[in-house]
Amino acid sequence: MSYTKVDSRDVEPIADGMRFLRDPLDCEKLGVTVLDADPGWTGKEHDHADDGQEEVYVLLEGSATVTVEGEDVELEAGEALRIPADATRQIHNGDTESRFVLVGASHEE
């Protein structure tokens, strides 16, 4: 088969509402996560300097702030943010529930 289809709602959430889809979709180089964030939720500050993975955060519903290298970037529903691998990042959800799609890929072969 040349494609894989998964209903993200069927994937068991891990780590505060994060549904990791890389394995269920059989992705080799791409990570995809659906994040359902409760009001006031804050994610872990991290970077991907070691694995070279740049990320794109797409906010589908709600509002949130992503702190990138100490700078707060406000996001509203429909907006997307690309973050380079070596930059620190941390999601701070707003006052309502939010839904993100988080996508990451490495430059490594």
The 10s digit of each residue's pLDDT in 49-86 is: 898 889 999 999 999 999 999 999 999 999 999 999 99
Strand-pair category, 30-37 with 71-76:
unpaired
Q: Is the pLDDT of residue 109 over 70?
A: no
DSSP E strand stretches across the chain: 18-20, 30-37, 53-61, 63-68, 71-76, 80-83, 89-93, 98-106
The structure's pTM equals 0.89
Residue 24 backbone zone (phi > 0: left; psi -120 to 50: alpha; other: beta): alpha
Q: What tens digit of pLDDT does each residue of 12-47 get?
A: 988 778 999 999 999 888 999 999 999 999 999 999
- Check residue 81 and give its pLDDT: 97
Could you identify the residue written with the tokens 């209903």? 7
Give the domains, in start order, of the chain with CATH numbers.
35-97 (2.60.120.10)
